């Protein structure tokens, strides 16, 4: 059930992906008008359901808040240009993972292979059906990853890789082009503005540790079932992001999971609420203190995946509960 969340988080919260050369269709635009209207009505009821850029004020403190998308896209250019004027006037730039955190993460993975790979116990071919393993091997081969390597990977890690369309993964691994987070980090570095992380570098491992093995395998199976439309979801997510309506991709994801699994709507809603709690809300709550501490030192710019902005437990609503006045500004 965690497939769509993983896919969206890969594109909206995994740092510094490269440009995706993907051709997909916008699934939201293809919906019948009545279904599209249902999605928009749902978003209307979500706190801060739309918008990518905000300014929060409390007393003399000012925080510039930017929801990001990690794949590169020429539509980032005017956004980055506007942010270029903001960065020199802030005291601190906060991102999910800065250069130091990325270096620590790579060092941990090199030192402890069990973080990403199964070092003891059954491998994926032994835990999946023959048909599922065949489909998985083919999907990962399309991403340039051989079956013998996939067989030893942790299920959650395979799901994250499947969440990246095969058309994008080669550019992602090259890492030569930055999404909005990477551009912000580069601009901050050029301006001499300190860059800090919102969370420890090993957060991702702690998140997935909260899921049992059955959930991780279920996530992998659903991810695999939707792989044929990965490019469509990538296109849809990008378009909704630049329309400042990324929550629409989240709601569309619920429909996709329901269509694949045949599960009742209520169960899908429950599963999405659980993944939102584990993968987003817990982090949002932890970030607020970090953000406020930085704001005490002076004007701050904070940038993180756009899905973290909205919702009852989204960053923006949590800040209003702390007495911040939050205003949407042009993206």
Report the helix count and the strand count for the chain, using DSSP H and E: 17, 6
Report DSSP letters for 141-203, one per residue: HTTT--HHHHTTB-HHHHHHHHTS-HHHHHHHHH--S--HHHHHHHHHHHHT--EEESS-TTH
Closest-CA residue to 298 (of 167, 196, 190): 196
- Give the residue extent of every domain in the chain: 3-116+154-328
Give the CA distances from residue 69 to residues 136, 210, 312, in Å, rounded to whole numbers and listed in that order: 27, 25, 21
**What is the rounded CA–CA span in Å between residue 261 and residue 247?**
22
Which distant-in-sequence residues (6+ apart) come within 8 Å of 76 by Cβ? 69, 179, 180, 183
| Span 32-86, pLDDT tens digits | 999 999 999 999 999 999 999 999 999 999 999 999 998 888 999 999 999 999 9
Rounded to an integer, what is the distance from CA 307 to the centroid of its chain?
A: 7
**Neighbouring C-beta atoms of residue 119, cutoff 10 Å:** 11
pLDDT for position 104 = 86
pLDDT for position 109 = 82
pLDDT per residue of the chain (331 residues) written in tens, 0 to 9: 344 444 444 444 444 444 445 778 999 999 999 999 999 999 999 999 999 999 999 999 999 999 999 888 899 999 999 999 999 999 999 999 888 888 888 888 888 888 889 888 899 999 999 999 999 999 999 888 999 999 999 998 898 888 777 777 766 665 555 789 999 999 999 999 999 999 998 888 888 888 888 888 888 888 888 888 888 888 898 999 999 999 999 999 888 888 888 888 898 888 888 888 988 999 999 999 999 999 999 999 999 999 999 999 999 999 999 999 999 999 9
Give the pTM: 0.88
pLDDT for position 196 = 96
Beta 53-58 vs 61-68: how paired, if at all? Answer: antiparallel
At 35 the three-state DSSP class reads: helix
Which distant-in-sequence residues (6+ apart) come within 8 Å of 26 by Cβ? 232, 235, 236, 239
């Amino acid at each position: 059930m965690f497939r769509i969340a993983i896919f969206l988080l890969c594109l909206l919260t995994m740092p510094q992906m490269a440009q995706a050369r993907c051709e997909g269709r916008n699934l939201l635009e293809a919906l019948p008008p009545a279904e599209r209207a249902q999605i928009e009505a749902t978003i209307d009821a979500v706190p801060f359901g739309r918008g990518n850029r905000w300014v929060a004020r409390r007393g003399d403190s000012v925080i510039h808040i930017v929801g990001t998308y990690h794949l590169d896209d020429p539509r980032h250019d005017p956004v980055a240009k506007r942010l270029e004027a903001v960065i020199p006037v802030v005291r601190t730039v906060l991102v999910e993972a800065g250069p130091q955190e990325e270096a620590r993460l790579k060092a941990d993975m090199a030192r402890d292979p069990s973080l990403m790979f199964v070092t003891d116990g059954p491998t994926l071919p032994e835990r999946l059906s023959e048909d599922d393993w065949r489909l998985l091997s083919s999907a990962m081969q399309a991403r340039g990853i051989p079956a013998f390597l996939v067989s030893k990977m942790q299920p959650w890690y395979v799901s994250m890789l499947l969440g990246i369309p095969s058309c994008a993964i080669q550019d992602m691994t090259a890492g030569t082009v930055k999404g909005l987070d990477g551009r912000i980090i580069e601009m901050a570095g050029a301006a001499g503005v300190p860059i800090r992380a919102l969370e420890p570098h090993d957060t991702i491992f702690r998140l997935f540790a909260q899921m049992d093995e059955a959930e991780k395998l279920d996530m992998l199976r659903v991810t695999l079932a939707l792989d044929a439309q990965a490019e469509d979801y990538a296109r849809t997510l990008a378009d909704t992001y630049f329309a400042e309506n990324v929550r629409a991709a989240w709601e569309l994801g619920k429909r996709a999971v329901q269509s694949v699994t045949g599960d009742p709507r209520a169960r899908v809603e429950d599963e999405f609420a659980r993944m939102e709690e584990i993968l987003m809300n817990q982090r949002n709550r932890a970030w607020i203190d970090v953000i406020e501490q930085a704001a005490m030192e002076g004007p701050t710019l904070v940038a993180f995946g756009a899905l973290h902005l909205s919702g009852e437990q989204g960053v923006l609503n949590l800040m209003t509960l702390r007495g911040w006045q939050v205003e949407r500004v042009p993206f």
